[in-house]
Structure 1
Amino acid sequence: MAYVRRDAGTLTRAEQRRFVKALLEVKRRGEYDEFVRMHIEYFSADGEHGLRAAHMAPSFLPWHRRFLLDLERALRRVDSSVTVPYWDWTRDRTTTSAPWTDRLLGGDGRRSDHQVMTGPFAYRHGNWTIKVNVTDRDFLTRELGRPRRPMDLPTKSELAWALKDPVYDVAPWDSTVTRGFRNKLEGWGTGRGNTSWRNHNRVHGWVGGDMLGGASVNDPVFWLHHAFIDLQWYRWQRRHRGARYLPATPPGQGDRQHGRIVARRQSLPPWDVTPQELEDVGRIYRYA
């Protein structure tokens, strides 16, 4: 029977407590840091060599869907009642709304060094030391809204703009495409500065701190954000019945994306699973 992922803003106090407790236990066991390592390893950009699986590629959505499932399975081994909640950033848009409460993820970082001082993941409690990072900091950081270079969270209309596109992705299958649902949702835009970040990318930028870059998994909000992104893929599929993951076949010899992206029936590293197999997960979970 499929379990249910719920809006973080609707969780009861007991549900919040169980989710936090399971997350802290996965961290205590050392499993959580392996998720951080994996995301850093697969955080590759257009200009780098080799296969791009997690970002700037069609497999952005199935890769993170499987990544979320692995974390969720780890949580459910601790407490089978727990699922990953999602953060609806089109509605909960302030620095004090869900999920930034003391009972769930804690709040903003302090002005001096952006260290998170409140909530269960504050360094001072001793339960959330950053051990895998691209910097030498060992405490969680946030800079909600990026006050020095202010930005807003994406709006409902910006998300609707992505959901409206009936094509999953288009050549050249990277961060430069201006058509296709995948990059409109992932959010690589043209130009410079904050305005070039859209939807998914803008949320990472708005949270700031550890959510910037490959080690973004160090902030537990990563999972709530990506659960909401996963929900958008589900909604897009229901809106555009019959639309499929693209490309269906790998780019051929001579194509600059040959060997660099994952086609529909190719294995998605580091797992032995294809994007096609991840298009429908209705037997595993659904969204409330």
Structure 2
Amino acid sequence: MHVEIDIATNDPQNRVFLTWRPVEALLRLVDAPAGSPDIDVTVSSTTRANGGRVVFADTLTHQGQPSLAITLPATGAPIAIFVGGEFQAPSSTYGDVAVEVREAASNQMLGSRPVMVRIRKNANNLSSMERDRFLAALASLNGLGNGPYRDFRDMHVAGAPDAEAHGGPGFLPWHRTYLLDFERELQVLDAEVSLPYWRFDQAAPNVFNRSFMGVPNSLGQVQFSAGHALLSWVAQGSAGIVRGRGVGPQTVPALFSETQTLALAGANGGFSGFRAMQGNPHGLAHTSHQGGWIGIPSTAPRDPIFFLLHCNVDRLWAKWQWIRGIHDPANPKAFTPSAGFPAGHRLADQLWPWCGPLQPPRPTTAPGGPLAASPMTGVPGGTPRIRDMIDYLGTMPGAAHHDFAYDDVPFQI
């Protein structure tokens, strides 16, 4: 007799990746002896040292508990529960936490399922293993300049593409989609990787060194340690990375702090006020490097620090959404109303390039194809709209999650 643990969805290797947002799990008693009574069990977890932790509930809630007592029918009928990562207790590797089902009376183990609480973390706090796995996946995606990374460079260039990504209210949802597509492509290469963020209102000595994002020399050529995965970096035919020397290990750029950014809309304001963060801190984070590719929109993605910078931009939006409780796309405060903005910046608009080539003045090319799929969720789909990118954690009734979360932004209904 044992218990099968089927947690929502899993990847081709039968692995389950969780975030703070709980997902449904089905528990089913298998091979119970004929005539057996229903069995009381306890669902809990076991965690390795410094591993992730998970919590349980019998409904979708942000108030999960470390264990849950349920009764499993001897007939094998499944019982649904919810399981999610315990906030601020993420994993560092797959299987460092496992869901367990034990018979309540005897404490006998009836079933176990390894999982990973996969969360976007502050890059300055990554372990060396997490850092190196991310760098290895990043280098593989670049593929000496010929890999899928090239598509992400080609999405973020001058002209009509620039008008899709910048200058209007679509800036934040467009870049959220961009990051999600990028992260999912990294996870094809290493499913345990998540996209880290550079918190640019704090010094980041563990980011701006030769072991991680490199240190530019007097000519702006970024230097790495021996054996570093990015020593083979090629961007648009140019070997290496060009970056100014404005940000170092102890540098705190002159831009809005997190507190100032989250206050941009005022006490009761909505997205129309908050989106001013496109200039400060976002724009100043780019130019704080004082030169190199990262300071110009058409070349910024050639430098991989771009994705850590924008991950923090998205985290700030996510934190603002959580603090204000604004996740419903129908809420006027969730996004700037459509009137007066061009196509690509209105709530119902499909986002380029994931929607394919468009008619002028929108871009007539579409590098990269549809948004990469995730085995953990079916949303936001291959051709998302702006409205699809707002409730990324699936907090609204019936909404699904996007399979990412930040280390300091909880799930809350």
Determine if the TM-score, normalized by the shorter chain, exceeds 0.5. Answer: yes
Q: Partner residue of 2:275?
A: 182
Greater percentage in helix: 1
Q: Secondary structure, in 3 states, of the residue corresponding to 1:5?
A: coil
Q: Determine what percentage of the aligned residue pairs are the same residue.
A: 26
Shift in Å, 1:160: 4.0
Q: 1:88-127 alignment to 2 at 5 Å?
A: 88-92=199-203, 97-107=205-215, 109-111=216-218, 113-119=219-225, 120=228, 125=231, 127=232
Displacement after TM superposition at 1:212 (Å): 1.6
How big is each residue's C-alpha offset from its partner over 1:40-80, in whole Å with a ceiling of 9 and x where there is no partner?
A: 156766xxxxxx32011101001000100111011101100
Distance in 2, matches of 1:81 and 1:40, equals 30
2:354 counterpart of 1:246: no
Q: Which amino acid aligns with 2:224?
A: T
Conserved? CA contact 1:58–1:261, under 8 Å: no
Q: Which has a greater percent of strand?
A: 2
Opposite residue 114 of structure 1, the aligned amino acid is: G
Cα distance in structure 1, aligned partners of 2:405 and 2:199: 16
1:222-261 matches, within 5 Å, as 222-242=306-326, 243-247=333-337, 249-251=338-340, 257=341, 259-261=342-344
3-state SS of the aligned residue for 1:58?
A: coil
* TM-aligned CA distance change 1:280 to 1:44, over 3 Å: same
Question: 1:9, 1:87 within 8 Å by CA — same for their partners in 2?
Answer: yes
Residue 22 of structure 1 pairs with residue 137 of structure 2 = yes
Q: Does residue 1:141 correspond to 2:245, yes or no?
A: no
Q: Is 2:270 the counterpart of 1:167?
A: yes
Match of 1:79 in 2: 190
Deviation at 1:280, TM superposition (A): 1.5
| AA at the equivalent of 2:278 | E
Match of 2:220, as an amino acid? H
The alignment of Structure 1 onto Structure 2 pairs a total of residues equal to 240
- Higher alpha-carbon deviation: 151-160 or 227-236: 151-160
Report the 3-state secondary structure (helix = DSSP H, G, I; strand = E; otherwise coil) of the residue aligned with 2:317. helix
CA RMSD of aligned residues (A): 2.5
Shift of 1:117: 2.0
The residue aligned with 2:352 is 269
Deviations 1:205-254 (A, max 9, x none): 0123110211101111111111111011111112222431112x343xxx
What displacement does 1:118 show?
2.3
Which residue identity lines up with residue 159 of structure 1 in the other structure? T
| Cα distance, 1:269–1:250 mapped onto 2, change above 3 Å | farther
Q: What CA deviation, in whole Å up to 9, does each residue of 1:7-48 have, x standing for no partner?
A: 111110100010000000001151111111111156766xxx
Instruction: Tell whether 2:158 aligns with 1:66.
Output: no
In terms of Rg, which structure is larger? 2
Change (3 A) 1:238 1:42: farther
Distance 1:30 1:88, change over 3 A: same
Shift of 1:140: 1.0
CA shift in 2, pair 1:163/1:85, >3 Å: farther
Is 1:152 aligned to residue 269 of structure 2?
no
1:85 match: secondary structure = coil
The structure 2 residue matched to 1:8, chosen from 110, 115, 123, is 123
Taking the aligned partners of 1:200 and 1:222, their CA distance within structure 2 comes to 11
Q: In 2 relative to 1, CA 151–239 (structure 1 residues): closer, same or farther, beyond 3 Å?
A: closer
Q: TM-score, normalised by structure 2?
A: 0.54
Unpaired stretches in structure 2, ≥5 consecutive residues: 1-17, 20-117, 327-332, 355-382, 394-400, 408-413
Whole-angstrom CA distance in 1 between matches of 2:320 and 2:150: 32
Distance in 2 (CA, whole Å) between partners of 1:250 and 1:241 is 24
Counterpart contact for 1:42–1:53, Cα < 8 Å: no
CA distance in 2, matches of 1:74, 1:44: 21
CA distance in 2, matches of 1:66, 1:44: 14
Q: Which structure has the higher relative contact order (CA within 8 Å, separation 6+)?
A: 1
